[in-house]
């Protein structure tokens, strides 16, 4: 009886524990090594790129803040997949990004939000705790020793090969749509993306499409049911990109202008020219259709890397860029 009570107390404590930073880094290194072997080296995209802007806009609304979210891309066109590493890195394969509808922010946002949701909900940690509880229980009951250091490596390898459970993938889809909504995207973009995955799967049987996820048709039905439960009309036509109707915020532009005036030079380009271009953007703010305004925007976007913004200001710079591109 004492052994059983001890088992229950230890299992309860183990179930509530989270992966330590060291464990997250160790398991992430395992995944990165396998990605390198399978596909190539993950690299960070340009911070002004389409995928970076969307990714970090969703990161802003996440509830989990104890990891450093960052996005990477691998040049691999023959596989349609993405990976969320427990230390906060999300890796997209170009085989996925290049097949998403061009310019459709909602479609890209769903893929990014799905992977971020895996991290926010600590799915890999939950799998590790479940596996650890099983090993712990067997070890206590048999009084045998366990290979604890191998446990996390086995869990991460299983995720790469077999994926998360169906329940975790469904949770990531649903939580992803919630994050999309909070970040200002239309969650019905999930249906566009999942429908596209269905078409790819049927038209390209040799293509390795999301091998670690449930079938796109099942995910489509689950997403459709969730959106209906939220009162959204899933059959209504959706604008291709919310950038077309995004309001332009003059207060935001003035804040970024103030940041630019105080920002230190980055050592690349001409910071004075960048500040002058942004000043010109403000002067022409009420003439967004004029050639002069568009020229000022192009000059600002071409020169903004000459200024060094702290992270909290950089997010507002990216927000302004979205509006200027509308």
Parent domain of 251: 246-324
Domain co-membership, 236 together with 252: no
30-88 residue pLDDT tens: 889 989 999 999 998 887 788 888 999 999 999 998 899 999 999 888 888 888 898 99
Task: Give the count of domains, the chain.
Answer: 2
Domain co-membership, 236 together with 182: yes
Instruction: Give a yes or no: residue 181 inside a domain.
Output: yes
Residue 316: active-site member: no
Domain co-membership, 233 together with 265: no
Alpha-carbon gap, residue 5 to 255, rounded angstroms:
60
Domain co-membership, 174 together with 311: no
173-204 residue pLDDT tens: 999 999 999 998 999 999 988 888 887 777 66
Alpha-carbon gap, residue 127 to 170, rounded angstroms:
15
Alpha-carbon gap, residue 163 to 213, rounded angstroms:
6
Domain co-membership, 290 together with 274: yes
Q: Which of 115, 171, 283, 325 is catalytic?
A: 115
The residues with which 84 forms a beta bridge, in sequence order, are 90
Domain co-membership, 61 together with 109: yes
Instruction: Give a yes or no: residue 290 inside a domain.
Output: yes
DSSP state of 79: E
Q: Model's pTM, two decimal places?
A: 0.61
């Amino acid at each position: 009886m004492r052994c059983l009570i001890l088992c229950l107390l230890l299992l309860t404590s183990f179930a509530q524990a989270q992966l330590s930073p060291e464990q997250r880094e160790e398991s992430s290194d395992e995944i990165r090594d396998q990605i390198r072997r399978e596909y190539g080296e993950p690299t960070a995209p340009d911070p002004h790129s389409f995928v970076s802007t969307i990714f970090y806009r969703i990161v802003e609304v996440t509830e989990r803040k104890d990891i450093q979210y960052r996005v990477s891309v691998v040049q691999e066109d023959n596989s349609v997949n993405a990976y969320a590493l427990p230390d906060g890195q999300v890796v997209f394969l170009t085989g996925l990004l290049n097949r998403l509808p061009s310019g459709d922010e909602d479609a890209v946002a769903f893929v990014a939000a799905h992977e971020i949701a895996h991290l926010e909900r600590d799915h890999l940690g939950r799998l590790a705790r479940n596996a650890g509880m099983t090993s712990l229980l067997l070890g206590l009951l048999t009084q045998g020793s366990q290979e604890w250091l191998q446990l996390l490596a086995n869990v991460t390898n299983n995720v790469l090969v077999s994926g998360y459970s169906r329940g975790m993938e469904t949770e990531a889809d649903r939580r992803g749509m919630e994050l999309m909504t909070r970040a200002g995207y239309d969650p019905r973009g999930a249906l566009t993306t999942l429908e596209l995955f269905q078409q790819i799967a049927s038209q390209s049987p040799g293509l390795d499409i999301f091998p670690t996820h449930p079938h796109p048709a099942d995910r489509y039905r689950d997403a459709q049911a969730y959106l209906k439960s939220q009162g959204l009309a899933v059959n209504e036509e959706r604008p291709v990109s919310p950038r077309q109707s995004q309001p332009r915020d003059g207060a935001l532009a003035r804040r970024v202008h103030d940041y630019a005036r105080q920002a230190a030079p980055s050592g690349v380009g001409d910071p004075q020219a960048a500040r002058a271009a942004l000043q010109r953007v403000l002067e022409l703010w009420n003439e967004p259709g004029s050639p002069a305004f568009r020229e000022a925007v192009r000059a600002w976007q071409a020169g903004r890397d000459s200024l060094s913004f702290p992270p909290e200001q950089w997010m507002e710079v990216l927000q302004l860029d979205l509006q200027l591109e509308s």
